[in-house]
Amino acid sequence: GAGVSQSPRYKVAKRGQDVALRCDPISGHVSLFWYQQALGQGPEFLTYFQNEAQLDKSGLPSDRFFAERPEGSVSTLKIQRTQQEDSAVYLCASSLISGTGIYNEQFFGPGTRLTVL
């Protein structure tokens, strides 16, 4: 069956450029999470959607980061005026039900590796 997909898989941006990263979650999954993972580190939470509602955006590092999930399925993470410190792998995960309880396994996409020059 189809898993979580992300596009593009790789993105090279010049400093100051805007980028948009797409996530297609597993069909029917209520929850969608975005994470940022730097090399050699664990994922860092960015934001959480329950269907189309963005319930937690406390992890977004600055107002240059914006995420949306307008119809409760596909989500887009947008980064404006990219900086070198934004270089990382951006992971999207979806789960069947809401929240982070024990029965709510998160399924991860392959990630988008963003390099800002």
Partner 1 sequence: QKEVEQNSGPLSVPEGAIASLNCTYSDRGSQSFFWYRQYSGKSPELIMFIYSNGDKEDGRFTAQLNKASQYVSLLIRDSQPSDSATYLCAVNRPPTDSNYQLIWGAGTKLIIKP
Binding residues for partner 1, rule: CB under 8 A, are 31, 33, 35, 40-45, 48, 50, 55-56, 58-59, 91, 98-103, 105-106, 108-111
* Distance in angstroms (rounded) separating the CA atoms of residues 105 and 94: 8
Q: Give the Cα separation of 2 and 56 in Å (integer).
A: 26
Q: Among residues 17 and 113, whose Cβ is nearest to partner 1?
A: 113
- CA distances to 5, 14, 77, 87, 94 from 1, rounded to whole Å, are 12, 36, 25, 31, 15
Query: 87 or 98, CB closer to partner 1?
Result: 98
Between 14 and 42, whose beta carbon lies closer to partner 1?
Answer: 42
Cα gap 2→15, rounded to integer Å: 34
99 φ/ψ sector (left φ>0, alpha ψ -120 to 50, else beta): left
Cβ proximity to partner 1: between 33 and 65 the closer is 33
